[in-house]
Amino acid sequence: MGNIESVDGQYEMKHHIMPLKVPMPDPTELEERFAIVLNSMNLPPDKARLLRQYDNEKKWDLICDQERFQVKNPPHTYIQKLRGYLDPRVTRKKFRRRVQESTKVLRELEISLRTNHIGWVREFLNDENRGLDILVEYLSFAQCAIMLDFEGLENGEDFSLDKAKSWSRSIEDLHQNGCNTLVRSARQSVLRYVLASTLPEAIKNSRLVSQKDDVHVCIMCLRAIMNYQYGFNLVMSHAHAVNEIALSLNNKNPRTKALVLELLAAVCLVRGGHEIILSAFDNFKEVCKEKRRFEKLMEYFRSEDGNIDFMVACMQFINIVVHSVEDMNFRVHLQYEFTKLGLDDFLEKSKHTESDKLSVQIQAYLDNVFDVGGLLEDAETKNVALEKVEELEEHLSHVTEKLLDVENETMTKVADLEKQLLHKDKELTAIKETYESTSSQVHTLRRMIQEKDAAFQRHNNIKKQLLELEQQGTIRLRKQPDGDIAIEALGGGGLVGGACVPIPPPPPPPLPGPSPAVILSVGLSAIRIKKPIKTKFHLPVFNWTALKPNQINGTVFNEIDDERVLEELDLEKFEELFKTKAQGPVVDLLCSKSKVPQKAVNKVQLLDANRSKNLAITLRKANKTSEEICKAIQTFDLKALPVDFVECLMRFLPTEAESKLLRQYERERRPLDQLTEEDRFMLLFSKIERLTQRMSIITFVGNFNDNVNMLTPQLNAIIAASASVKSSPKLKKILEIILALGNYMNSSKRGSVYGFKLQSLDLLLDTKSTDRKMTLLHYIALVVKEKYPELTTFYNELHFVDKAAAVSLENVLLDVKELGKGMDLVRRECSLHDHAVLKGFLQTSDTQLDKLQKDSKTAEEAFNNVVLYFGESPKTTPPSVFFPVFVRFIKAHKEAVEENEQRKKQEEAMREKLLAQEAKQHDPKTQKKRQQQQEMIAELRRRQAKDHRPVYEGKDGTIEDIITVLKSVPFTARTAKRGSRFFCDTNLFDESIC
């Protein structure tokens, strides 16, 4: 590869005696000589960069060490010797003397190609020397006799001559485009030599060479050349180099055949190499007269069962040549090609071989095999599954539609029940009020009777005392003319004096006083003052919007007791989680008022020319004459005129100016036939009495059912959602928990509050714990699960809040009001004229409208009650603001519960892992196994990080590295990436290679 480690001991060099220390030249010359040394060493960029960082002293030492050695033979020495072996003019005796050292020359050449610096290799391969052409020619010459020996000479000399000619053509075709005339002439002389009458002598020379290791060493020389990127590119672009390497499989030496297969397998894994290898085996089939491609290869595979190394290399090559392609169809084709040659049967017999290496390669091939039958079965299963999916999707759509219908029916039933409940509540409230009023009156009457009885009793007592005094002679009673009784006091024996003292009448009954019932109006003095809360740590502030004490009356917060909740919770854990550390910026609540969108009134303003054109288009939609259209309008015949057409026609009601022009035209008694169809229609149209009212009635009647069907579900959603939210005891308990925790957090800074605005629920996610991993909502979800599990599904009590959130109640009420106006218009029309169509409409639709109007009042009342119940104002809080608060809160609560469960599972898994690690730390076998697993994981990560890299990135040594890896790790198709089919094991060679 030409690196630093290969400098010593591997070069065939002679040592020159030099002084121990040569004086260092000036820095400029030093850098120039150092650059020459670096180029000759052909180092990777990272190692060259490391050497450039040396100081001048170390650089000079390196230059001196390199200059002490000199390459023994230049490239042209080896080239001249190889050309001499190919010279056909050499006599057999002289050739026999020369060829005795051919193997030695080739071995020296292989060592030089492998160990000399890259400059020597480039000189060997340059256009002047053309060393690659000479090597390929010599390899072809050496194999000529081998080919004939394999076929045998029993087929006759003509057959041998044909074979020799085919091999000669192979030599002739080498580098047909070459520009070196000397090499070309030498190649032609070889051809003439082979084809001349001296053919037996040439075959004898070739056979003499083939009996040596020259073919094996030639392949090693080509392998050394291909290990350089420059040489690899030359070999791949050579017309016949790879073909000759493939033909070397006909060598009798199993070691040579194994070497060839290892080299060809490595080329397969280089991008673009697979096609070249297949082309080489196509040439092999033509030259060797195979019936099928790879036939000889399989024949050698079966026959060389005693040579394990060759069988391993052959199995490895078959695995790679079949399964390194990306196209699945082509891969199956190659797989079938070997199946037809009997590979599957042979592998079945060899599967239980005693050789571990061969067994691994066989198993690797079997693991990569595409089971076409299984794929077809999977495809059929997939098609069946897709059909089933379509059926299920269709069934799901039907079920969804049915579910929507059921949901609408359920919502209607719930709304009806809620309306009945509201009606019963009203009746119950009226009965309670009547009962309280009657009880008060009865109590007052009883008190009046008691007071009257007491007055009569006093009156009788006074009268009795007066009679007693009269009998004693103390007084005398005398009746006055006006009916009063005069009392005269008697002194001694006669009348002392008289005074008319009227007896006081019994006191009148007192006026009825106030009822003794308890007055429910709660003043500020009646509110129970909350106790201040002392916390152990400083807690973050929960920025809710609090309700004032005088706003609590009649709300849900008047019915809950947050102080009782605090006694049930683990507040120490709460403080530990949420104590302030480095609190983030406080998020203020933005109380933005929601404005009710107003309907935009589209005013159509058309020019006269366009108006006539548009009217013509509209009239063509009806496909009726002007007289038929006007008659249908007069009789309110919706069967003759679709509602959509009437709505379009509403835009063409004649203006005052148009009516005036039409009347003037008619007064002038001009012929109507001269008018256009549009003008004639407008003339008839303008003559209809109360045209605007008639058109409005037709539109109203035609759209009435659609409007009712559209408005009813919206009202039902408002009624059902309002009643369920107000009557939910679980929601009330959730708000109680939130109020308790919020007061606990804010008590030290803001003090306790009695209630909060619903929009404060959105801020539960903004208040986070000390470690910023948990929000207040997550903690509330934990508290609910641990302390109040019955509240976990509180959202099941809140019916249809998502549907109610999408309703604009103000617009719905306006639409209901418009329907009422339209019905009044129909009633007036019926009172003026007898229309059977309108009478029939009133009989069927009057009750529907009455029910719709009642539902609208119920919805408005129910919504106002629930909004007031939660301390909000119906004017500033429409359904599109009120109900989405609960929708968001429900969604956030569900997500918090799910995240709490995930966190709990992770903590339990971590706890179990720590316990297992502590238990295994004392077990040496477990420690060793754990270490192996960690090493395996690290290795897999390195592979995943590097498998996507190209085969070579301007680096040498790739082919050698691939061969080394394939000897250690069998090729698997799963590891071959699309960007590169090079399988890379990071344990076996350095990162810089991959």
Domains and CATH numbers, the chain: 17-67 (no CATH), 72-252 (no CATH), 608-718+812-826 (1.20.58.2220)
Mean per-residue pLDDT over the chain, rounded: 75
How are beta strands 485-491 and 475-479 bridged, if at all?
antiparallel
Residue with the larger pLDDT of the pair 207 and 228: 228
Q: What is the mean pLDDT of residues 62-82?
A: 75
Q: Has residue 596 got a pLDDT over 90?
A: no
Q: Output the pTM of the full model.
A: 0.47
Phi, psi of 901 (to 5 degrees): -65, -45
As a whole number of angstroms, the distance between CA 737 and CA 864 comes to: 25
Cα distance between residue 575 and residue 570, in whole Å: 9
Amino acid at 101: E
CA 588 to chain centre: 33
Which amino acid, residue 106? L
Identify the three-state secondary structure at position 485.
strand
Instruction: Collect contacts of 291-297 with beta carbons under 8 A, ≥24 apart.
Output: 292/337, 292/340, 292/341, 293/337, 294/318, 294/337, 294/338, 294/341, 295/341, 296/249, 296/250, 297/249
Helices then strands, counting H and E runs in the chain, come out as 38, 5
CA distance 249 to 258: 8
The predicted-structure confidence for 242-276, as pLDDT tens digits, reads as follows 999 999 998 888 999 999 999 999 999 888 899 99
786-818 confidence digits (pLDDT tens)? 989 999 999 999 988 999 999 999 999 999 998
**To which residue do tokens 């003026």 refer?**
832
Greatest C-alpha distance within the chain = 205
User: CA–CA separation, 97 vs 79, rounded Å?
Assistant: 18
Q: What is the pLDDT of residue 267?
A: 92
Contact 56, 27 (CB under 8 A): yes
Distance between CA atoms of 457 and 460, rounded to whole angstroms?
Answer: 5
- When computed from its CA atoms, the radius of gyration of the chain, rounded to whole angstroms, is 55
Per-residue model confidence as pLDDT tens digits over 880-936: 999 999 999 999 999 999 999 999 899 888 888 888 877 766 666 666 655 655 655
Q: Could you tell me where the beta strands, DSSP code E, fall in 670-760?
A: none
- Show the tokens assigned to 779: 């903690």
**pLDDT value, residue 929:** 58
Encoding tokens for residue 399?
Answer: 């079920």
Least Cα distance to 822 among 806, 809, 838, 799 occurs for: 838
Chain centroid to CA 701: 50
**pLDDT greater than 50 at residue 669:** yes
Residue 379 carries which side chain, given as an amino acid letter?
A
Q: Which residue has the tokens 């003397």?
A: 97
User: Which has the higher per-residue pLDDT, 426 or 280?
Assistant: 280
Helix, strand, coil distribution of the chain in percent, nearest 5: 70, 5, 30
Q: 845-874 b/e with 16+ CB inside 10 Å = b?
A: beebbeebbebbebbbebbebbbebbbbeb
What is the C-alpha separation between 134 and 127, in angstroms, rounded? 12
User: Would you give the DSSP letter of residue 543?
Assistant: -
What would the two tokens of residue 343 be?
């590979």
**Rounded alpha-carbon distances, angstroms, from residue 458 to 449, 507, 604:** 14, 10, 90
Distance CA 708, CA 816 (A): 9
Q: What is the per-residue pLDDT across 937-969, written as a single tens digit (0 to 9) for each? A: 555 445 444 443 334 333 577 788 888 888 777
Which tens digit of pLDDT belongs to each residue from 408-440? 888 888 888 878 888 888 888 889 889 988 988
Average pLDDT of 221-248?
91
DSSP string for residues in 101-156: THHHHHHHHHHHHHHS-HHHHHHHHSTTT-HHHHHHHHHHHHHHHHHHHHH-GGG-
The two beta strands, 69-71 and 13-15, are antiparallel
